[in-house]
């Protein structure tokens, strides 16, 4: 369908008027239509809905199941370095946006309450967020968390796993952590769960892992 601006100009053309009369308004209308399509209407990637705090998430890259898990060494809540390769058995690496926020607290406490049964099944839990070690320490002490909390302030590990991307809240776009969980065994990713819900996450995880 022709833009309204073009139709209006066509209707105003006197009989016998050369078609060159339309070049300028058509050019302007065409550019405006193109800009609208690029910024508003064009698809921007794989979009996923998050019912908790973000309306839409566009995730461009994620590690594939069966691929080598990206290695990392990060500071924990005590400022000590923790490496993925040093962990024994199966490792649950979960990424969350921010310590002490409602959703992240719900998820962390869910892990806390189920940590013994997860350990019995051979799993180690590592929580990763952009928070500084000092903030993670307060989070751990306040909630009585019984697993490692790791600091990824530059978002490098999040990006390596595809747990960092474009998000939108109340119409404003920004880059941030995508709540995601990965299971690593023998250096390879065996399970990948992107854009998960904080509430009921352990129940969901148990079902997927057959626990």
- Please give the positions annotated as active site: 104
CB 97 within 8 A of CB 129: yes
Please count the residues of the chain.
211
Which positions ≥6 away from 68 have C-beta within 8 Å?
187, 188, 189
Q: Phi/psi class of residue 100: alpha, beta or left (left: φ > 0; alpha: ψ in -120 to 50)?
A: left
Starting at the edge strand found earlier in the chain, the sheet holding 56-58 runs: 47-49, 56-58, 164-169, 172-177
């Amino acid at each position: 369908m022709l833009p309204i601006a073009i139709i209006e100009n066509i209707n105003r053309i006197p009989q016998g008027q050369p078609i060159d009369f339309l070049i300028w308004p058509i050019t302007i209308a065409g550019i405006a239509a193109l800009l609208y399509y690029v910024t508003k209407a064009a698809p921007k990637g794989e979009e996923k809905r998050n019912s908790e705090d973000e309306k839409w998430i566009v995730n461009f890259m994620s590690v594939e199941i069966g691929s080598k898990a990206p290695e990392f060494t990060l500071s924990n809540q005590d400022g000590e370095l923790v490496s993925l390769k040093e962990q024994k058995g199966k490792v649950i690496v979960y990424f969350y946006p921010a310590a002490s926020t409602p959703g992240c607290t719900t998820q962390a406490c869910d892990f806390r309450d189920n940590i013994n049964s997860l350990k019995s099944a051979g799993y180690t839990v590592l929580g990763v967020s952009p928070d500084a070690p000092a903030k993670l320490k307060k989070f751990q002490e306040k909630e009585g968390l019984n697993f490692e909390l790791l600091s990824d302030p530059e978002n490098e590990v999040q990006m390596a796993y595809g747990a960092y991307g474009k998000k939108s809240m109340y119409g404003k776009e920004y880059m941030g952590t995508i709540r995601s969980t990965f299971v690593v065994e023998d250096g390879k990713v065996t399970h990948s769960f992107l854009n998960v819900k904080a509430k009921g996450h352990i129940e969901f995880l148990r079902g997927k892992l057959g626990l």
